Amino acid sequence: MGNQIVESYIENKSIYEVLAIKVKDLLEELINDEGINVHHITCRAKDVEKLDGKLKRKNNKYSNIEEITDLAGIRIITFFEDDVDKIADIIEREYEVDRKNSIDKRALESEKFGYMSLHYVASLTKQRLRLTENKKFKGKKFEIQVRSILQHSWAEIEHDIGYKGEFAIPSFAKRSFSRIAALLEIADIEFIRLRNQLQEYGENVSENLDKNSESILLDKISLLELVKSNPDIDDIEKSVAKQLNWSYDKSFSFSDNLVEHNLKRISKNPELNITNIKQIQINLKKYKKEIIKSAVSNEEKATEGKSIGLVNGAAISYLIEFLEK
């Protein structure tokens, strides 16, 4: 039976390859729509040699190819552990989940060894299978693995060392494995806490930009929040773009990288005497006309009259250039 399954898989492997890609692409779109940032999403169809090895290990327990649930596989690696549950909600909503063959390895007992990962076995819903292009996927299942980047690191290292499971580990090494597993779990928790603190800080900065900005020190978050909302920045950039006949779209922005660059410039020029957000706000308002005039002149010389686009956050660069004169 094993040889028949392998032969059947060789004939149908291209279908599983397309299925894996199709599921991956849809998941990427759905995850982006939810505003979840992940490290990466990959997919694959199982290697024929690995399938053959699996059948031999399982003593040919499968009677047909459709009983094998991991011929198409998708792996999602998140930055944060709590995003695993958010992605799980998407999978449960969008696919037909095989509860019997799915497993949440994060629920392992604390004294057991092994990486924590969420494994779904699923198939396309009846609604999706009605589509002509999906009819070939009827009866075919796929596996989706979801885990954080730290959980993934554990899995990869554990695989490289060659020990999987508590009973495979020599007794003298169990203590070290326990310490590493605990450290990774703590790190996952601390990264989530840090992310939440930074988000809360950003919200507080946004609320206080017009109230108590002299108490807001310069950093990436505070400067980004200022770029997003300051009307003088918007006025300067729109005016410069208009006079140079450049395209300008505030929603299309590289301000994140630009902010980092400007922070470095400010830190290397203590004579600018800029240490908090209030000082930037004052200078932008006080020298708005002069900044625009200087920026237009400098850009005309630098670009030789070429029509290009202006990125959101450029006004901070123009301010620094003006103050440096």
Q: Tens of pLDDT along 272-291? A: 889 999 999 999 999 999 99
| 2-182 CATH pick, 3.40.50.10440, 3.40.50.1820, 3.30.1330.40, 3.30.460.10 | 3.30.460.10
Q: What is the dihedral of CA 223, 224, 226, 227, to 10 degrees?
A: 120
CB atoms within 10 A of CB 154: 22
Which pLDDT does position 115 carry in this prediction?
54
Q: What is the pLDDT of residue 164?
A: 55
Q: Which amino acid is at 194?
A: L
Dist. CA 174–CA 184, nearest whole Å: 15
* Arithmetic mean of pLDDT, 128-157: 91
**CA 234/CA 253 separation, integer angstroms:** 13
pLDDT, the chain, mean: 87
pLDDT above 90 coverage of the chain, percent: 57
Contacts of 202 (CB under 8 A, 6+ apart): 221, 224, 225
Q: What is the pLDDT of residues 17-46, one digit of tens each?
A: 999 999 999 999 999 999 999 999 999 999
Lowest-pLDDT choice from 40-54, 90-104, 164-178, 246-260: 164-178
Would you kindly state where each structural domain of the chain is located, as residue ranges? 2-182, 213-324
More confidently predicted of 59 and 192? 192
Rounded CA gap, 205 and 2, in Å? 63
Question: Please, how many CA atoms are within 13 Å of residue 239, restricted to the half-sphere of its CB?
Answer: 18
